[in-house]
Structure 1
């Protein structure tokens, strides 16, 4: 829902700007950490999405595309590159042979474990500033 400029307070603009800044800091950290681990930021996001989807069920290319907010064919290309790099593999679902699940390799899991630990540490470091931004009272509350 769009809000007109006239109904936004200066405090709300500042809150949004501060929140975006905190997000940008985290995303910049994430991109640098992924590159240092030998991945592109998109590959890191894909590995994390596959892992997260696999925890409660199964990861498919369609689900991955949704999580990465990209088109199906783009997710297919990304998965192809992950498979070529020995970071993921496709597994045909024995119950439904039309369905293909995505599985991380041991190599990908080791990389993801290191990256995820670093990301959790970074989130803890950013937590106070994020909490301050999110706690600000809004005139709309």
Structure 2
């Protein structure tokens, strides 16, 4: 029989609240930074996730949808808008013609680099803020 987790204490709720507050502050910073460059926050995230796919320089629409926690049709619409802005380009896969790869274009790379630098500086300013103490949460079962 598993030990019963302890009840959450006031300090646990304070830590969770502080974590969520700082997370939201960073998210709001990110939204404003993207808007300052003429992008929606989700368009910025499309660029980021394309560049952030491990081991290659493109992403599938399905991968973008997963990273953004969207339905595939929502990711398609975002990619279409980014494509219209000249930031990305869809290309058929050279290895599997059924798959479409979404690549960053030069303008998308430049914009992403500017925004990523702003985000890195903001993250450095938050160093230590996200050190949340261990909280024993009850099992989901």
**TM-score normalised by the shorter chain: which range applies?**
0.7 to 0.9
- The count of aligned residue pairs is 131
Runs of 4+ off more than 2 Å:
136-140
| 1:56 aligned onto 2:55 | yes
Distance 1:138 1:71 in 2: 32
| 1:75 aligned onto 2:75 | yes
CA, structure 1 residues 138+109, in 2 after alignment: closer, same or farther (shift >3 Å)? same
- Alignment partner, residue 109 of structure 1: 109
Q: What is the CA RMSD across the aligned residues, in angstroms?
A: 1.5
Compute the TM-score of the two structures, normalised by the length of structure 1. 0.87
**Whose helix proportion is higher, 1 or 2?**
1
- Alignment partner, residue 3 of structure 2: none
- Alignment partner, residue 26 of structure 2: 26
SS at match of 1:47: helix
Compute the TM-score of the two structures, normalised by the length of structure 2. 0.87
Q: Deviations over 1:25-57 (max 9, x none)?
A: 10010000000011110100111011111x413
Distance 1:139 1:95 in 2: 47
5+ residue gaps, structure 1: 1-5
5+ residue gaps, structure 2: 1-5
**1:130 deviation in Å?**
1.8
